[in-house]
A and B are shown apart, each in its own frame.
Chain A
Amino acid sequence: MPIPTPALALLPLLAPLAWLGVAAAARRTPGLRPRLLLRLADAAGLLTLAIAALAGVAAWRTGPLTGPLLGAGGVGISVRLDALSAVMFGVVAFIGAVVVRYSRRYLDGDAGQGRFVGGLALTLAAVMLLVLAGNLWQFGAAWIATSLALHRLLLFYPERPGAVRAARKKFLVARVGDVALVGALVLLARGFGTADLGALLTRAGDALAAGTLPAGTGAAALLLAVSAALKAAQFPTYGWLLEVMETPTPVSALLHAGILNGGPFLIARFAPVVSGAPAAMAVTIAVGGLTAAIASVAMTTQPSAKVALAYSSAAHMGFSLLLCGLGAYPLAVLHLVAHSFYKAHAFLAAGSAVENARGTPRRTPAAPPSTPLLLLAFLTAAGAVAGVARALGEGPWRQPVPFGLALVLAIGLTQLVGAGYATRPALPVLGRTLFGAAGTALAFFALERGATHVLQAAAPVRYVAGPAALALMAAVVALFAAVVWAQLRLAAASPSPRWAAAHVHLRNGLYANALFDRLVGHPRPPRAVPLALETTR
């Protein structure tokens, strides 16, 4: 029996409603060991997972649809259900359920466990309303609400000066991002004459194809790019992300796996608009590519588990934005989703850092691989990528962007193969690494094909073609290659003063955070224990 479409599009709203219910219940038991609340939250997690699964099936069966507006005068709540929102909804529901369940034992005995679970629930409700938004005003409101709800979680231990400082930085960045987003949304609503997301995307898609995008689209797209970069903690504004470990681990897992995503999601959501604005695409490529390179190198210099994960998140968000900027939206969304699972696990398992380090003891190879060996490694990796692509009938070399992306994959795999070549005795190890490289390439192309198919209506591929964009892409690919080359060569090289200095600069994230600190100040908190000076005054 077919379910009527409006009812179908209302169903997902039950999920944020459930989390709002949990948040309301938490107000009654904000403290220690709220047994009933914990059971309720667990149930809400499972319920929202089920709803997300149903919504996914619905989106797949019926195609994109927008539900009725619950509100008046064009302002209110409506649901946009398409492949993009269904995928993001599923991810958020899944991460939410895992994180809430984790908090049951993790926060056991904390005087504010109820408040904590309530904060998680409120944040989850806001994120869900964001990814499901059917109109621009809801999108903007949920975007801001997410950030405010998260702010409360970041201040879960308000007595920690570090938490206050980090939250303040985050607050400043988020408000600038809000202004940019609201500006973009107003421009879009005026330009396209509708605040309904579905209608807007259709009109923008048509206008893009016809080359008749209204005036103001370029400015709106630029504002979207700025807002996305701020949300996704891109260089040089990532300082706050590096410091928000002052709140329990589940918040970090949710933030890194479910909220930073908002940046690339924003670009993918408004893909037809951004694709029509070369300047916005160029900014996204440049900011994303640069952050991907800087943050991922900075990550390798970090001795502390959670700070390394924070740099890693900035880098992956950068990579995802880079893919957006190149118009490879399905790959960008795939990367987002994959990163969500990866990073949620990495944070929740951060307590295993000691076992991780023990399980794979650091050894310095006898000698860095020579340049010919590296070249051989690259050719092997490239051969594996090309071979797999050919076997699958893919032809990434026919267009510049897919070619560039296949090249990036091969450059990454060079790290694997190169290290395999450099290990002695090599054969069994090399066999495993080659097998791993081929398997990774296979997974890449298979998943790319799958993502492109799933997202063909909601966020189709629109590769950039302008010479400026392609030149930027070439520069980013070259930068990536240089990083991998330096990384393999440096593994054992004795440090030259220049490399040593680079290590310090990068370990400090190129000082973006110190500058930010200067901006917000570093005041002395009231001293808990007196110094002699004070008693003498």
Chain B
Amino acid sequence: MSARPSVSPDALARAVARATDTIAPCWPLARFVAVNPFLGVTDRPFHEAARTLARAAGARLTLPRSFYAAELSAGRIADRHLAAALAEAPRSDGVPTDVEALRRLAAAGDDQATLPLTPTVADLAADLTGHDWARAVTERLSAWAGSYFDEGQAGWANPWRALTPYAAWRAEAMVDRTPELLGAAGCREVFAGLPATAEALTARAVARLGLTASQLEPYFHRLLMQVGGWAAYARHRGWERALRGESDDTVAELLAIRLAWEVALLELFGERGVARAWAVERARLGAPRAAPAAEAALAADLLLQAAYEKARQEELLGLLAARPSIPAAPGRPAVQAAFCIDVRSEVFRRALEGVAPEVETIGFAGFFGFPIELVPLGEGAGGAQCPALVAPRAVIAEEVPGAAEAGIGRRLRLEAKAVWKRFKTGAVSCFSFVGPLGLFFAPKLVTDALGLTRPVPHPGSAGMGRGWQARRRPVLSPGTVGERAAGLPLEAQVDLAEGALRGMGLVTRTARLVLLAGHGAQTVNNPHAAGLHCGACGGHSGEGNARVAAAVLNDPRIRAALGERGISLPADTVFVPALHATTTDDVTLFDLDLVPATHREEVARLQERLAAASSRARAWRAPRLGLDAGAPVDAAIRARSRDWSEVRPEWGLAGCAAFIAAPRHHTAGVDLGGRAFLHSYDHREDPDGRVLELILTAPTVVGSWISLQYYASAVAPAVFGSGNKTLHNVVGAVGVLEGNGGDLRVGLPWQSVHDGERLAHEPVRLSVIVAAPCAAVNGVIARHEHLRHLLDHGWMHLYAMDDQGVVTHRYTGGLTWRAVVAGAAAERAA
């Protein structure tokens, strides 16, 4: 390999860092939480990111024209929305400048002009050899990655897992005969001749490919997007390490592997025209050829999307403007019930307020401010039950009071289960299992098909008798789990309690009974189950966080310490933890044995109200689930949660469109259709703006991530969605393949955003409405770069609401605001 270095080591390192930062992380399935798939490109305006992603991945960030045409003809987009969108967009060549032209364009159908993809050697080799090397490289790389990153599916694990990714890949590539059998004769020799480290390989590859510094970033980005799923998973490893203060270059290693393939294909097929074609193509890497038709098509698509969002925002503001005026209830409420800000809570809160006027509901992130790692009974480690932006503050173990043997008992049962599983799935031993015992799967097929049994035991309760399961409880007092310290020191408990109470606004007028309702979904046989759980609890059920929070807040020692910090909870206030089951809308209360006798009656009454609210919420949700009006809704919805063949057990957060941080009485009584995140916030109780800062930088950002994940999965399912659920093939317990191979798929399944007839998620960028003075909001935006990027670059919209609950201003970027005309009804273009 003759090559002269053409890029300085520093420039190369910078280009690698920039390209790897462009990839958004994706979490493994067991703790699947929403991530903004555009995370790496929010530092540029939306329209620019659309161009970047078109060239790097062929992704399109808007729906087909036919969608907008249909909305236009149905009147769901009106001329005023088109005009407003036109007024805000910069003029560019070939793009309509008036409403009529824009209408005509939408009606004319899809524009075929798309931006050309950034070229790679693999693409050229595919074109020139007649063998699809681009696909084959993705295939081989994915096959290797599935084995290397496997978190527990293969019984005989990859032998090189302890090496770095590139070293492990190279060791395997020198052995694997597949590429040669597919026609790349000499491939193993080429790989054997490559440098031993990723860094050295990257430098060598850049020289061999004849690239200059300015060409690197788009090229690297394209290479990573060709294995975009695994790149996203690799990025997640770096993310988790960064939370622990460590560094990680898994994505750079993956890039090196992909570059090694480029070099190999150039070596092996250079003489078949690939070298010549590459010399032509790479010249365009730094400065892509102008594609005016495609640019114009993209700009027009963005205009239509902007108009579509204007129309949806007008609807939202209209709903809020027309709300019944419900004054803030004076005095101390009988019951307060805190739910997660999740859009599914909106439906349930509305139902509960309807059947129980004495209950005041609160919206707060569903981990209730307690970021913990909850270790299930008898296990050695658990999942991080907190938002992806933070690291757990404490390890909390479980115990069964009065049954000290429970932990070790469960551990032994799990051990025995593991041994049995190795017998059942082992080579040769599987014959001794299936022959005699396979017949027992006949009755299991029947009971599973009828929803009477679960296909596999729930991992959280496997190896646990019903008794232990019902009696287990998180342990707060200091102890150990394995070799790690567990439990929450008192001082930390007080800190977290204070944060939670201030965040929830439970500083004054706290009720006698406060329900802390986390949420979780009940689905079976669903690889993406964690995605339906609480995102604020790291893709887990929120039960554990709610129970820890209630235990801390009920502790008299904590109350005393809180008093010293200026929060005096009434002595008769009792916190009760609960779980809102989002699939069935049932609410279960926990730790009722700890409720004092004085409150038992009120708790019983609350349970009745909750049951009534559950029925009401289910009835409201039934039409969207496609249930017949006459059918017994309660039974049908519960059956869905146990059906192993159900691909849409619930709609999750599909439809999410707004985030409202305001006192509840500003939104109470409005049917927001399960589309709004509701965060309780009263700026009059937050004079120094600390709560506002927290809301805008944490839950709001997470809300925008969720909305953008749904957005991307709806508009670009091939790149940012995980495809068809009926083809899903779980790999390495980390993600899914669609079918038997290809890249790892990230994002949401098509079934989660589309019902077969229409999109269940109408893709819009999140509209955030904050009941706070614009100046206070500006202060926060100015201090936080990521938030500023999201707002100023068009990744979400922001409105301000006044003390009467009227939306008065719209944020227009650069810390400027524009008054919303006529209160709220319709914001017309100036």
Q: Which residues does chain A contribute within 8 Å of B132, judged by CB atoms?
A: 522-525
Q: Is the CB of A503 within 8 A of B730?
A: no
Q: Which of B126, B156, B178, B646 has the most CB of A within 10 A?
A: B156
Q: Are B727 and A344 in contact (CB under 8 A)?
A: no
Q: Does A480 contact B (CB under 8 A)?
A: yes
Q: A162 CA to B131 CA in the complex, in Å?
A: 14
The residue in chain B whose Cβ has the minimal distance to the Cβ of A332 is B435
Which one of B114, B146, B423, B445 lies within 8 Å of A304 (CB-CB)?
B146
A423-B415 contact in complex given A302-B154, A354-B30, C-beta closer than 8 Å? yes
Which stretch from A101-109, A172-180, A205-213, A394-402 is at the chain B interface?
A101-109
In the bound complex, do residue A246 and residue B740 qualify as a contact, i.e. CB atoms below 8 Å apart? yes
How many A-B pairs have beta carbons closer than 8 Å: the answer is: 390
Q: Are A110 and B726 in contact (CB under 8 A)?
A: yes
* C-alpha gap A419/B363 in the complex (Å): 50
Q: B199-207, B298-306, B480-488, B749-757: which lies at the A interface?
A: B749-757
Q: Is B238 engaged at the interface, CB distance under 8 Å to the other chain? A: no
Whether the Cβ atoms of A103 and B645 lie closer than 8 Å is yes
Contact present for A433 and B291 (CB under 8 Å)? no
- B526 CB-CB contact with A under 8 Å: yes
Bitwise interface map of A from 496 to 513 toward B, beta carbon under 8 Å scored 1, else 0: 000111011101100100
Complex contacts, A349 vs chain B, CB 8 Å: 448, 455-456, 525, 644
In the complex, which residues of chain B have a beta carbon less than 8 angstroms from the beta carbon of A523? Answer: 130-132
Taking a contact as CB atoms under 8 Å apart, the answer to whether A533 and B124 are in contact is: yes
Asked whether B334 is an interface residue with its Cβ less than 8 Å from the other chain, the reply is no
Docked-complex contact A102 and B645, CB < 8 angstroms: yes
* Chain B residues with CB below 8 A from A468, complex form: none
A352 adjacent to chain B (CB < 8 Å) = yes
Contact B436 A338 (CB under 8 A): yes
Contact A345 B178 (CB under 8 A): no
**In whole Å, how far is B435's beta carbon from the nearest beta carbon of chain A?**
5
Report the minimal beta-carbon distance from B416 to chain A, rounded to whole angstroms: 4
Contact check, B456 vs A355: say whether CB atoms are below 8 A apart: yes
Nearest B residue to A420, CB-CB:
B419
Is there contact, CB below 8 Å, between A532 and B437?
A: no
Cβ of A201 under 8 Å from chain B: no
A65 at the interface (CB under 8 A from B): no
Asked if A504 contacts B176 (CB within 8 A), the reply is: yes
Chain B neighbourhood of A348, CB < 8 A:
445, 448, 455, 525, 644-645
A228 at the B interface (CB under 8 A): no
Determine, out of A6-14, A22-30, A143-151, A308-316, the stretch whose residues face the partner at the interface: A308-316
Contact A412 B431 (CB under 8 A): yes
Q: Which of B135, B154, B432, B730 contacts A409 (CB 8 A)?
A: B432
In the complex, what residues of B have CB within 8 A of residue A415's CB? 422-423, 426, 428-429, 432
Binary interface encoding of chain A residues 276-309 relative to chain B, with 1 for a CB under 8 A from any of its CBs, else 0: 0000000000000000110011011111111110
Write out the residue numbers on chain A whose beta carbons fall within 8 Å of the beta carbon of B422. 415-416, 419
Chain A residues, Cβ within 8 Å of B459: 355, 358-359
Chain A 443-458, CB-CB to B under 8 Å as 1, else 0, gives 1100100000000000
* A490 partner residues in chain B, CB cutoff 8 A: 156
B529 touches A300 (CB 8 A): no
**What is the distance, in angstroms, from B450's C-beta to the closest C-beta of chain A?**
9
Does A32 interact with chain B (Cβ within 8 Å)? yes
Bound: A303/B172 CA distance, A: 15
| Residue in B114, B436, B442, B644 whose CB lies within 8 Å of A529 | B114
Please report the total number of B residues contacting A with Cβ < 8 Å: 120
Total residues of chain A contacting the partner, CB 8 A: 129
Provided the pairs A300-B425, A352-B455, A524-B132 are in contact, do residues A335 and B434 lie with their beta carbons within 8 angstroms?
yes
A109 to B760, CA, bound (A): 12
Does A532 lie within 8 Å of B434, measured CB to CB?
A: no
Residues of chain A within 8 A of B182, CB atoms compared: 514, 517-518, 522
* Docked pose: A421 CA to B431 CA in angstroms: 21
Residues on A with beta carbons closer than 8 Å to the beta carbon of B318: none
Instruction: Tell me, yes or no, whether B147 is within 8 Å of chain A by CB.
Output: yes
* Contact in complex: B419, A109 (CB < 8 Å): no
CB distance from B715 to the nearest CB of A (A): 15
B419–A419 contact, CB under 8 A? yes
Q: Give A316 to B428 CA distance when docked, in angstroms.
A: 9
Which of A161, A303, A312, A359 counts the most B-chain CB atoms under 10 A from its CB?
A: A303
Q: Are B151 and A357 in contact (CB under 8 A)?
A: yes
Known: A247-B727, A351-B730, A525-B132. A315 touches B430 (CB 8 A): yes
State the CA gap A360–B757 with chains docked (Å): 40
Provide the residues of chain A in CB contact with B724, threshold 8 Å.
157
Chain B residues contacting A525 (CB-CB under 8 Å) are: 132
C-beta contact mask, A107-148 vs B, less than 8 Å → 1, else 0? Answer: 111110000000000000000000000000000000000000
Given A98-B445, A360-B421, A533-B119, are A503 and B156 also a contact pair (CB < 8 Å)?
yes
Binding-face segment, B10-18, B78-86, B157-165, B229-237: B157-165
In the complex, what distance in Å separates the CA atom of A335 from the CA atom of B136?
A: 37
CB-CB under 8 A for A505 and B153, given A242-B740, A355-B458, A487-B426: no
| Chain B neighbourhood of A530, CB < 8 A | 114, 116-117
Do B436 and A300 touch across chains, with their CB atoms under 8 A apart? no
**Which residues of B sit under 8 angstroms from A98, Cβ to Cβ?**
445-446, 449
Q: How far is the CA of A160 from the CA of B135 in the complex (A)?
A: 13
Please measure, in the bound complex, the distance between the C-alpha atom of A108 and the C-alpha atom of B288, giving whole angstroms. 44
Chain A residues contacting B6 (CB-CB under 8 Å) are none
With A341-B442, A415-B426, A443-B437 as contacts: A408 and B432 at CB distance below 8 Å: yes
The residue in chain A whose Cβ has the minimal distance to the Cβ of B741 is: A162
Given contacts A33-B756, A300-B427, A514-B177, contact A495 B160 (CB under 8 A): yes
Max chain B Cβ within 10 angstroms of own Cβ: one of A301, A340, A352, A354? A354
The answer, yes or no, to whether B739 is at the interface (CB within 8 Å) is yes
CA distance A339 to B30 in the complex (A): 29
Q: Give Cα distance in the complex from A530 to B439, angstroms.
A: 53
* A353 is an interface residue with CB less than 8 A from chain B: yes
B445 touches A345 (CB 8 A): yes
Q: Is the CB of B437 within 8 A of A508?
A: no
On chain A, the residues within 8 Å of B147 by CB distance are 301, 303, 507
* Complex Cα spacing A37 to B124, Å: 48
* Cβ contact within 8 Å between B155 and A102: no
The answer for the CA separation of A94 and B441 in the assembled complex, in Å, is 12
B445 and A503 form a contact (CB under 8 A): no
| Bound-state Cα–Cα, A531 to B645, Å | 40
Counting CB contacts under 8 A, is B29 at the interface? yes
Bound together, the chains give a CA A499 to CA B160 distance in angstroms of 11
- For the complex, what is the distance from the CA of A501 to the CA of B281, rounded to whole Å? 38
Given contacts A109-B751, A504-B172, A524-B126, contact A296 B431 (CB under 8 A): yes
Question: Is A163 an interface position by the 8 A CB rule?
Answer: yes
B158 and A105 contact, CB distance less than 8 A: no
CB-defined A-B contacts under 8 Å, sample of 29:
A33-B756, A94-B445, A98-B445, A104-B645, A106-B647, A109-B751, A163-B739, A246-B727, A296-B431, A300-B427, A335-B438, A338-B434, A342-B438, A349-B455, A350-B729, A352-B455, A360-B421, A408-B431, A411-B428, A432-B420, A440-B433, A483-B427, A500-B159, A511-B181, A522-B182, A524-B126, A532-B119, A532-B289, A533-B127
The 3 closest A-B pairs by CB, nearest first: A412-B432, A109-B756, A338-B438
Known pairs A351-B527, A356-B456, A484-B426; list 18 more (Cβ under 8 Å).
Answer: A98-B445, A106-B646, A108-B756, A110-B726, A296-B430, A297-B427, A304-B729, A304-B740, A307-B740, A334-B435, A338-B438, A351-B525, A355-B529, A412-B433, A433-B416, A444-B435, A504-B172, A524-B127
Binding site for A on B (CB under 8 A): 29-30, 58, 114, 116-119, 123-124, 126-127, 130-132, 134-136, 143, 146-147, 150-160, 171-172, 175-178, 181-183, 277, 280-281, 284, 288-289, 291, 379, 412, 414-423, 425-442, 444-446, 448-449, 455-459, 462, 524-527, 529-530, 643-648, 724, 726-733, 737, 739-742, 751, 754-757
